[in-house]
Amino acid sequence: MSSDTPDRADEPAGAAAPTGETAGHRAESADRVKSADRTESADRAESAPESALETALHQLEHAAAILDLDENVVERLRHPARVQRVSVPLRRDDGTVEVLAGYRAQHDGARGPYKGGMRYHPEVTEEECVGLAMWMTWKCAVMDLPLGGAKGGIVVDPKELSHAEHERLTRRFAEELRDIVGPNADIPAPDMGTDAQTMAWFMDAYSVQEGEPSPGVVTGKPPEIGGSHGREEAPGRSVAIVAREALAYEGRPLDDATVAVQGFGSVGASAARLLDEWGATVVAVSDVNGAVYDPDGLDVRSIPSHGEEPEGVTRGVDDDRLLSNEALVRLDVDVLAPCAVGNVITGDNAEAVRADLIVEGANGPVTFAADAVLERRGIPVIPDILANAGGVTVSYFEWLQDIERRTWASERVFEELEEEMVAAWEAVREEYDRRDVSWRTAAYVVALRRVARAHELRGLWP
């Protein structure tokens, strides 16, 4: 799930084709960068799986080497600005009290208030929060949002919480974090195991203690109390926009494209339905139980998303139209959009991928090992840091609406998101063309350059 998760049928904004010298005649330094890019990916492919923090640090070091940044700035970015660990006492419905561990990591605030999700999950760790906070720093920067990265959560299984326990836990967590969060300090949002109702409780608890309404302390709230229209579908919408731009860059008409979407939750369903609306042929979608497939195209609006009917994608479908999730990944399509969970395309199945383009809707669906294989095979991967950034972008819009005390119509939200996504795509495309690196590396170069420049301008005090 995106750490800050979320109808205009515009024609593709034509991304400029590569200009100037061909890749074979580009500067020797660019060739060395791409060679190093591949070598590093291959080296990492042979190692054990990395944690979120290890991955984030790897990405930082690689992009910093390409940009030749001031080592003092890079050293600051290797470390979070703050990590708050709290004990959260929870009174269970039977009257017993359980003390749970909670965290809030704030990575970098050079460009603005911290921003990032708040998750309830039994495997939440301090290290994970730090790594994911770094990723949020890069995601906000690649979108050029005036925000920094944060992430937090509580070590708890939300499935074992009653509705009342969930509320009591959230309100107490808000109190424990009250000194470090706020509309101009750190703005949480929904993540794994939390939702709009969680954010409503958090906002209310914070507001009561502050003595005034503070809707801007969180995003992802219900629209009735300061949330934004269009936020739930925003990550999927951004996936569709980026897929459209990537196809245009390759000179492929969207209305001739075939698409397979792995995962039909809020991200996958929104992406599939929008691409269908724009003229693409969606031939397969899936949920945890498998995929439904039709080479002539599916009526994706008649297929229930996970939120509309959990595990309903394959229910009642004839056997001859069913595929496994593994088979969906191997379909011969123009666009493959993994929108469910991480580590879907790995070193074990990357050789079998037949899609011409991969757009990451989930966070981390393509492993390092797969990245190396796909790059060798010439299959471009548009990274999650760009593709699913619609969630944090509309969260930013929500924050602006809360500050202005004025609600935007859905049409304005979608128009503003379109503009921001195309601008971000163009910034990444320019680096991709100029440096002859992977799309993933190009995105991190854009993000790190912006964060580093903010540090250079602000300096270090004292």
Final residue of a domain: which of 361, 382, 403? 382
| Domain membership flag for residue 248 | yes
The pTM score is 0.86
| Domain membership flag for residue 346 | yes
Annotated active-site residue 221? The verdict is no
Report the SS3 class of residue 379.
coil
| Domain membership flag for residue 67 | yes
237 lies in the same domain as 349: yes
Strand partners, 49: none
Q: Running DSSP on this structure, what letter comes out for residue 450?
A: H
250 lies in the same domain as 369: yes
80 lies in the same domain as 186: yes
281 lies in the same domain as 371: yes
pLDDT of residue 48: 53
What does the pLDDT average to over 222-231?
95
| Domain membership flag for residue 176 | yes
Q: Among 196, 174, 192, 173, which Cα is nearest to 123's?
A: 192
214 lies in the same domain as 237: no
Task: List the 186-190 sheet strands across, edge first.
Answer: 82-91, 97-108, 148-155, 114-121, 186-190
Whether 179 has a pLDDT exceeding 80, the answer reads yes
Whether 16 has a pLDDT exceeding 50, the answer reads no
| Lookup result for tokens 């998760």 | 5
116 φ/ψ angles, rounded to the nearest 5 degrees: 170, 165
| Domain membership flag for residue 341 | yes
Provide the CATH number for the domain around residue 309: 3.40.50.720
What does the pLDDT average to over 297-309?
88
| Domain membership flag for residue 325 | yes
187 lies in the same domain as 239: no
pLDDT of residue 49: 54
406 φ/ψ angles, rounded to the nearest 5 degrees: -145, 130
What range defines the domain where residue 84 resides?
50-218+437-462
| Domain membership flag for residue 1 | no
Tell me the per-residue pLDDT of 45-101, one tens digit each, with 9 for 90 and over: 444 556 778 878 888 998 899 998 889 999 999 999 999 999 999 999 999 999 999
| Domain membership flag for residue 38 | no
Q: What percent of the chain has pLDDT over 70?
A: 89
Strand partners, 305: none
What is the tally of structural domains in the chain?
A: 2
Q: How confident is the model at residue 4 (pLDDT cuts 50, 70, 90)?
A: low
Q: How many residues does the chain have?
A: 462
169 lies in the same domain as 270: no
What does the pLDDT average to over 206-217?
96
pLDDT of residue 78: 96
Provide the CATH number for the domain around residue 70: 3.40.50.10860
Contacts of 33 (CB under 8 A, 6+ apart): 66, 435, 436, 437
Tokens representing residue 314 in the block = 């394959």
96 lies in the same domain as 185: yes
Final residue of a domain: which of 382, 414, 448? 382
- Each residue of 278-309: b (16+ CB within 10 Å) or e? bebbbbbbbbeebbbbeeeebebeebbbbeee
What does the pLDDT average to over 26-50?
45
Q: How confident is the model at residue 2 (pLDDT cuts 50, 70, 90)?
A: very low
136 lies in the same domain as 182: yes
**Of the residues 34, 115, 139, 151, which is catalytic?**
151
What does the pLDDT average to over 97-109?
98
What does the pLDDT average to over 438-442?
94
248 lies in the same domain as 101: no
Count of C-beta atoms within a 10 Å radius of residue 193 = 21
Tokens representing residue 381 in the block = 């991967």
208 lies in the same domain as 59: yes
Contacts of 10 (CB under 8 A, 6+ apart): 418
Final residue of a domain: which of 382, 404, 427? 382
pLDDT of residue 416: 97
pLDDT of residue 59: 83
Helix (H) / strand (E) element for 224: namely none
CA distance linking residue 92 with residue 190, whole number of Å = 23
Give the chain's count of helices (H) and strands (E).
14, 12
Tell me the per-residue pLDDT of 229-263, one tens digit each, with 9 for 90 and over: 999 889 999 999 999 999 999 999 999 999 999 99
154 lies in the same domain as 262: no
